[in-house]
Amino acid sequence: MSETAKIIVGNQTHEFPVLTGTEHEKAIDTRELRAQTGYVTYDDGYANTASCESAITFIDGEQGILRYRGYDIQELAIQSNFLETAYLLIYGELPTIPQLQGFRHLVLRNAAIHQGMFNFFEAFPNNSHPMAILSAMLNSLGCYYPEMASNNREQDLEHLDNAATILISKVRTLAAMSYRMKHGLIFIHPKPELPYCSNFLHMMFSEPYAEYKFNPVVDRALNLILLLHADHEQNCSTSTVRMVASGGANLFASASAGVCALWGPAHGGANMAVIHMLEQIHRDGDDGSRFIAAAKSGDRSRRLMGFGHRVYKNYDPRAKILKKTCADVLGTLGVSDPLLDIALKLEEAATHDKYFLARKLYPNVDFYSGIIMRAIGIPVDMFTVMFAIGRLPGWIGHWRELATSHSPIHRPRQIYTGSPRREFVPIDKR
């Protein structure tokens, strides 16, 4: 006998099926609720609402578990790399050697951009935020590859392999160009022989007279940061990608919308906000205690950035890995950053403070990631761009999952709280 849930509306009892996920998570299937009762559910922020069924990522927020296609993030962090994990997220299985070689070849071959795209950078003001540039440029890829951005679902799916590798590859080139433009530097062309991350660092930091020197520690650290950001089920930006895709929009347009959603300080913008917070604490000569006291005021503008999470009510497993990587990378590079000392002090204080414990607020993925990116020379205003580069495979995987499902266009209902019906009043009578 399959499980059901009963909802009593007035003197009527309505029964609805209960869905059970792979890890035994439960959902009341309310797809017939309005037809049966005339009622809708209300769940501001969707904290209690499953918007879809997905086979890509599993998170257990209470246990601090994160798995991509069934593989624990801790195992992938040690044994895999960003491109292999990107393939896993998009296609559902770890690639064989030929599959990974083919995928890597497409990615490495697709790093250069169409000559016409260089002109966009002539027009952006130099102080443009790289996330604004990135969302514009990802969407404009559809203008250069119209056959992959037809908004004819069957045709766009036929070209998905190419569109995916174009996005994963060119996102680095476009990101590096936004950095070079901002600093008045000439653009550096990609070198296909370099591995994924080092090719990005080459395009960011090489000079005509001094090529960026490959550093295996830095390449590995950046690879890990991107892998840890690669997907996170129905977070704000991924849900946005699915929302846009549900209307039939192509992959480039959907990814561009994901960039816009990620930019906010409550979401992907937090990694920049963490560094600004740590720098402020350092400037104030605060040992963190004053900041912690202010963060407990409930004032949203004084929050401990990089702490708390909509789903994790335990230590974010990605933060644990990044905290260890922080120490390893800074130690190997011989970098001592006072911000790391402050971050460790803040964590020590907050994770023993009843305000944070009572609200189950722990470090999230953004708390340590910025310190590593700073150590490898990535400027703070590029941190959320790095998050977007990492999250692209997840967005692509979710676009593909939705595009191959029979999911209807996403169109939530609402509770109307505006004016009752009223007559129009001509302007001379108001």
Residue positions annotated with a catalytic role: 309, 366
Q: Considering beta carbons, is residue 22 or 301 the nearer one to ligand SDX?
A: 301
| Distance in Å, CB of 316 to ligand SDX, minimum | 7
Q: Considering beta carbons, is residue 14 or 410 the nearer one to ligand SDX?
A: 410
| Distance in Å, CB of 296 to ligand SDX, minimum | 7
Q: Which amino acid is at 66?
A: L
| 12 closest CA partner among 49, 30, 39, 40 | 39
| Distance in Å, CB of 233 to ligand SDX, minimum | 7
Laid out side by side, the sheet with 71-72 consists of 57-60, 65-68, 71-72
- Residue span 230-249 as binding mask against ligand SDX, x where in contact by CB under 6 A, dash where not: --x--x--------------
Q: What's phi and psi for 214, nearest 5 deg?
A: -55, 130
Whether 239 and 52 have beta carbons less than 8 Å apart is answered as no
Q: Considering beta carbons, is residue 78 or 266 the nearer one to ligand SDX?
A: 266
- Residue span 49-78 as binding mask against ligand SDX, x where in contact by CB under 6 A, dash where not: ------------------------------
End-to-end CA distance of the chain: 64
| Distance in Å, CB of 313 to ligand SDX, minimum | 9
| Distance in Å, CB of 412 to ligand SDX, minimum | 18
Segment 124 to 163, residues that bind ligand SDX, using CB under 6 A:
none
| 215 closest CA partner among 193, 190, 197, 191 | 197
Q: How far is CA 317 from each of CA 53, 57, 61, 322, 349, rounded to the nearest angstrom?
A: 23, 14, 10, 9, 19
Q: Considering beta carbons, is residue 38 or 298 the nearer one to ligand SDX?
A: 298
# of chain residues touching ligand SDX (CB under 6 A): 21
Q: Is 347 in the site for ligand SDX (CB under 6 A)?
A: no
| Distance in Å, CB of 305 to ligand SDX, minimum | 5
| Minimal CB distance residue for ligand SDX | 308
Residue showing tokens 């070209």 = 159
| 342 closest CA partner among 269, 268, 284 | 284
Separation CA 194–CA 250 (nearest Å): 30
Q: Considering beta carbons, is residue 18 or 357 the nearer one to ligand SDX?
A: 357
Q: Considering beta carbons, is residue 241 or 340 the nearer one to ligand SDX?
A: 241
| Distance in Å, CB of 304 to ligand SDX, minimum | 4
Q: Which residues of 288-303 are buried (b: 16+ CB within 10 A; e: fewer)?
A: beebbeebbeeeeeeb
Contacts of 87-93 with CB under 8 Å at 24 or more apart are 89/56, 89/57, 89/230, 89/231, 89/393, 89/394, 89/396, 89/397, 90/164, 90/393, 90/396, 90/397, 90/400, 92/55, 92/56, 93/69
Q: How far is CA 430 from each of CA 173, 331, 369, 419, 427, rounded to the nearest angstrom?
A: 56, 70, 56, 17, 5
- Residue span 252-281 as binding mask against ligand SDX, x where in contact by CB under 6 A, dash where not: --------------xx--x-----------
Q: Which amino acid is at 222?
A: L
Segment 349 to 388, residues that bind ligand SDX, using CB under 6 A:
359, 361, 364-366
| 49 closest CA partner among 68, 28, 32 | 28
Q: Considering beta carbons, is residue 280 or 336 the nearer one to ligand SDX?
A: 280
Segment 294 to 313, residues that bind ligand SDX, using CB under 6 A:
295, 298, 303-311
DSSP 307: B
Whether 218 and 376 have beta carbons less than 8 Å apart is answered as yes
Q: Report the interface residues with ligand SDX, using CB under 6 A.
A: 232, 235, 266-267, 270, 295, 298, 303-311, 359, 361, 364-366
